[in-house]
Structure 1
């Protein structure tokens, strides 16, 4: 019997070894062998009979578990084997919670202890109730966004979507008794950072290794974070390579849109919000990395996540709400879709790594795109200070480019009503605000429209 996750050797008995038994009970069970040295050689125990009498009661009284204690012999030496089964409820040693992982024992504290206790009681972090927050304190804009998206997805009935905030939250399983859950606050509160530090996205552009040139923070409800992160990366942090097919301009970004969108959604939905660290997206001249704290499902490996697998989200209530909105599928295909989109574009596969609670996804930019860009980040100057709009992206006009159906409809609405808002356009065209935002960005880049004046009080001007 080799020392492993389920086997531990000790030369003699000490009462502190009850911690090891506690770790076995909280994990997958195991055997503690008393009378072997650290190389597994039997050295025997001199008080085997007394241990046989004392240990079962001591283990029961201190840990509250039943252990199988037996006398065995090896090479003529008396050994004591203590076998402990895995327990469905958490087991403590004098108020401490220990856990066996690999061939080591760890005392669980902080966020790790919270996750362990929730899992043992069949709960998830995002389903825990939050005192002191009422439905009326949530964001009207976040509810409006969800209702529009869910209407298009047809994953909720019209009656459900027309109901009150309270009834909608009930349908989405975001209420626990009289309390809203953590998921409800993250999804629908305008400032969830007030309750959960680190529940935002940080984006930075880096040159020469670790030198940050500029950065942005994206806060707000999770729907806003997901949409604005993708928009900002495309509008400010990435430059498209420009080619022409006849008179039509073709823009190729270094990361396919759907792959970027899936990666951002994956980070937001599966993030470990108890870790109190933001999602961090680092953009370089030749690559982009997305980092978020997270946890592997029990008994899963990073290799299994990269392959086709069942859906087992870390935050199931957050994932369910994004599914109802139509933003994701609930088939465990998020990572698979990222690989498919990159493959379809002829781009390199992203590198996805997991290490001790950290997820990291890296997109290496394809050489063909970098060659077209000529290594230049922008065509006109450097960006301003952190948080300012990056203005060097995609200079030039459309040169006879044909407009798609949605783009043409956007231009027509702006011509008829220059002060029309993005939500109004989205409602008239039955599209998401995110889709309209991207269309408008494209029209501005192509020199077809421009914004005159501020966001509030300004108007649209159609240039051609």
Structure 2
């Protein structure tokens, strides 16, 4: 880092990726900061800088001592150990030690006392809520939301005619002729866990999953104008039911609230949708299958006069970026849902859905909001 870049960074103040510290003497305090950055998006600690960005500088003795402290804290006081990089950057007021901590690939990280720290704006806090801890384990690939048992949902909550039709179509034999008990069959199919339907089994095959999982629905609103603050709307709906039903009803809502273009067709013809249907199929399927089910929030579909926004809880998993998915890369957050979706929805997986949507309608903006913890697809209307 050059001096000019250091001055520019300090002038912006502290945020979730940049923290200023005058000095460190306690390895536990330093370890907590390293853990917080590792569990979040990574960042830099600038040592020798006051909270207001004023550089006080460090002596050579300070730098020698701090490098040893950083080495010891990151290897002995952080679990699993991490490898931050240090750089001595000159400044007119003295040397600043810049410690760069990458986002961790083995989350959750913790200090030697077992405390799990995460960034909270420019500060840090302990992660204590179940959902937050689950998301950290999810990022490490140690747990998947769709395999989590759902309290209160068992075999008796299955939509049996629907499941029987699916089973016969997939396996070529009637469910009634299958020899295994139904609970064992559902467990073998990764739809049941610990005697209860898991999240995937509930969303895919329960009669009314919204009663046990009220947050996992689609909230759809069609507005008159272009502003979400506008109180006037054309249509509003909470879309519930099995995943396949939610998918079809969400498509129906969007199509009903967007235009049909006549083009060269006759006056009495129905016309063609202003935006190809495959765009909605791919984006809605992506929102339902790849959303973060450790976040208790609905998928939102907002139809405006100039655009349609499809908003999924949860940013892109791990180090996946918008550029990655535009190149066809993928990271499956909910593997059970994804495997069944290919049999129940027009979903092909393999990271190709976004590419098909963009080929059919290039006017799509994709936003990975890591601070708001959501993913947004904005489709410009004609």
TM-score by length of 1: 0.61
Change (3 A) 1:216 1:250: closer
2:137 aligned with 1:124, yes or no? Answer: no
Structure 2 unaligned segments of length 5 or more: list them: 10-15
Change (3 A) 1:24 1:143: same
Alpha-carbon contact 1:35-1:45 (below 8 Å) kept: no
SS of 2:235's equivalent in the other structure is strand
The aligned counterpart of 2:163 is 143
The aligned counterpart of 1:23 is 36
Measured against aligned partners, the alpha-carbon deviations of 1:404-428 in whole angstroms (never above 9, x if no partner) come to xxxxxxxxxxxxxxxxxxxxxxxxx
Structure 1 unaligned segments of length 5 or more: list them: 343-347, 367-464
SS of 1:213's equivalent in the other structure is strand
Change (3 A) 1:351 1:83: closer
Change (3 A) 1:239 1:132: same
Measured against aligned partners, the alpha-carbon deviations of 1:111-143 in whole angstroms (never above 9, x if no partner) come to 333200233362222222334432232222542
Q: Report the CA distance between 1:199 and its aligned residue.
A: 1.0
Largest Rg, 1 or 2: 1
**C-alpha separation between the residues in 2 aligned to 1:336 and 1:61?**
45
Alpha-carbon contact 1:56-1:66 (below 8 Å) kept: no
Change (3 A) 1:302 1:258: same
Change (3 A) 1:55 1:199: closer
Change (3 A) 1:160 1:353: farther
The aligned counterpart of 1:333 is 352
Number of residues paired by the alignment? 352
The aligned counterpart of 2:364 is 350
Q: Report the CA distance between 1:225 and its aligned residue.
A: 0.6
**C-alpha separation between the residues in 2 aligned to 1:189 and 1:71?**
53
2:299 to 255, 279, 286: 279
1:203 to 220, 236, 248: 220
Alpha-carbon contact 1:280-1:290 (below 8 Å) kept: yes
Measured against aligned partners, the alpha-carbon deviations of 1:185-229 in whole angstroms (never above 9, x if no partner) come to 122222222333321112222114422233121111111111222
**C-alpha separation between the residues in 2 aligned to 1:71 and 1:227?**
53
2:109 aligned with 1:91, yes or no? Answer: yes
Instruction: Name which of structure 1's ranges 17-26 and 33-42 shifts more when overlaid on structure 2.
Output: 33-42
Measured against aligned partners, the alpha-carbon deviations of 1:323-355 in whole angstroms (never above 9, x if no partner) come to 13353112111111112223xxxxx62222222
1:223 to 214, 225, 244: 244
TM-score by length of 2: 0.72
Q: Report the CA distance between 1:249 and its aligned residue.
A: 2.8
The aligned counterpart of 2:13 is none
The aligned counterpart of 1:407 is none
Change (3 A) 1:80 1:200: closer
The aligned counterpart of 2:282 is 262
Change (3 A) 1:251 1:74: closer
Change (3 A) 1:49 1:165: same
